[in-house]
Amino acid sequence: MNQQIRDLLTFDSAHIWHPYTSLERPLPAYPVASAKGVRIRLTDGRDLIDGMASWWCAIHGYNHPRLNAAAKAQMENMAHVMFGGLTHFPAVELSRLLVELTPEGLETVFLCDSGSVSVEVAMKMALQYWQAKGEPQKKRFATIRNGYHGDTFGAMGVCDPDTGMHSLFSGFLVQNYFADAPRITFQMPWDESDIQSLTDILDMHAQQTAAIILEPVVQGAGGMRFYHPRYVARVRQLADQYKVLFIADEIATGFGRTGKLFACEHAGVCPDIMCVGKALTGGTLTLAATLTTADVARVVGSGDPGVFMHGPTFMGNPLACAVAVASTRLLLESDWEQKIRSIEARMREGFAPIAGLPQVADVRVLGAIGVVEMNAPVDVARMQASFVAAGVWVRPFGKLVYIMPPYIISDTDLDRLCAAMCQVIERYEP
Ligand SMILES: *Cc1c(COP(=O)(O)O)cnc(C)c1O
């Protein structure tokens, strides 16, 4: 390792926070020189096959010429202008696309900077909606256990109460209502008892509940669990029946990852409010959006103070919007449905050899998401090092070792990725 890289790592571990880390006990971070396609190149020249798509984002792989060209063209024009009192083509084009592609009924778009912020925006919309309707006591949210909605305070308040950060920040977080996590998986036959816990909560607390918020069909960082689309369809019915709004957090599931463009399509329903983010710009820049129905928008605008009370500095950033337009068009032009089906089939086959291992509790695949749940939490640093040694980038958390590769991954690379998963998990010693 040369001196420059050594200095970089020394400074990094002494001064820089990484996601969920401690500066007292820094975990190794691998220095990246560049990334292209499905390869992440480390500064020592090693190429890793990317299994993470940088947390659901890089669906077209890295350094894509079309996304780069969109960013460059927009940069030559303007990188940013404020969105208060000004508008521009990239924001309008993107919003037009989002209204067109998302479930019928979602007609307005709030552009924001990150997934967590789009969840805060969704929750504030629901609160202002009931305020305007003359039902200001509807201030709580109902959700399901094992959810993950982001790291800001509103979002944390609807993350799983045990694995989330509730006890740590108790007193600061609002008490929300948590139904049991769905138990009927995507493939199992539907059973109405699965929705009982949520129904009970609404029976008791609908008067105080502004909205049901959940990740449709796939729960991401809260456990990587896949559940029955009928659950989502029932949530839509219950929301109407009990007069609460339905917020779908599609930040992880959006843009094809589960085999449908949006996971709500598995259930054939339209939420009242929907959050998108992550793959929105193909992993190039941070951007998210909150979509709502004309009804929610009209009611929010009719109440006091007559406007929606949110407006981030970088709202509608033209650079991010231009790349998001390019990324979305690129996706639509590709044969993404066929590609996701093929990734799904290949992962199922690729994971088959480890399904019966004693250290493995469950193997599950849906769309371009492959999950191996171990019997006990893994030593992340040690397992990650084994993956790097095997030439792939996989970052486990807790008991979960999972991949969600860029959609453009070749069969050969995907087979190598699955083989590395099998090999590392087989040889892993707790
Ligand atoms: C990642 C994620 C978020 C938070 O998005 P950030 O961009 O990290 O703030 C919210 N909800 C879901 C379902 C996510 O996967």
Å from CA of 117 to ligand 1 middle:
9
Nearest alpha carbon to residue 111 among 284, 247, 275? 275
pLDDT at 163 over 90: no
What average pLDDT does this structure show over 259-284? Answer: 98
Residue nearest to ligand 1 atom 10, measured at CA: 149
pLDDT score at 168: 87
Beta-bridge mates of residue 245: 211
CB of 200 closer than 8 Å to CB of 231: no
Which residue blocks in 59-193 are alpha helix, DSSP H? 65-77, 89-101, 115-132, 153-156
pLDDT at 91 over 90: yes
Please indicate whether residue 116, judged by its CB atom, sits closer than 6 Å to ligand 1. yes
Beta-bridge mates of residue 112: 288
Query: pLDDT-derived band of residue 170, with 50, 70 and 90 as boundaries?
Result: confident
Residue 247: HSE in the Cβ half-sphere, 13 Å Cα cutoff:
32
Q: pTM for this one?
A: 0.98
Query: pLDDT-derived band of residue 239, with 50, 70 and 90 as boundaries?
Result: very high
Please indicate whether residue 220, judged by its CB atom, sits closer than 6 Å to ligand 1. yes
Residue nearest to ligand 1 atom 3, measured at CA: 150
Residue 131 to residues 88, 140, 215, 306, 334, Cα–Cα distance (Å): 32, 12, 25, 11, 44
pLDDT at 164 over 80: no
What average pLDDT does this structure show over 55-84? Answer: 98
Atom of ligand 1 minimally distant from the CA of 278: 7
Atom of ligand 1 minimally distant from the CA of 150: 4
Q: In what order do the strands lie in the sheet with 39-42?
A: 32-36, 39-42, 47-50, 392-393
pLDDT mean across residues, the chain:
97
* pLDDT > 70: percent of the chain: 100
Please indicate whether residue 259, judged by its CB atom, sits closer than 6 Å to ligand 1. no
Tokens 């890089």, located at residue: 58
pLDDT digits (tens, 9 = 90+) for 369-416: 999 999 999 999 999 999 999 999 999 999 999 999 999 999 999 999
pLDDT at 165 over 90: no
Å from CA of 190 to ligand 1 middle:
28
Å from CA of 276 to ligand 1 middle:
9
pLDDT digits (tens, 9 = 90+) for 290-314: 999 999 999 999 999 999 999 999 9
What average pLDDT does this structure show over 130-146? Answer: 98
pLDDT score at 172: 87
pLDDT at 422 over 80: yes
Active site members:
20, 148, 249, 278
- Residue ranges of domains in the chain, CATH in brackets: 31-63+335-427 (3.90.1150.10), 67-333 (3.40.640.10)
pLDDT score at 171: 86
What average pLDDT does this structure show over 415-430? Answer: 97
3-state secondary structure of 187: coil
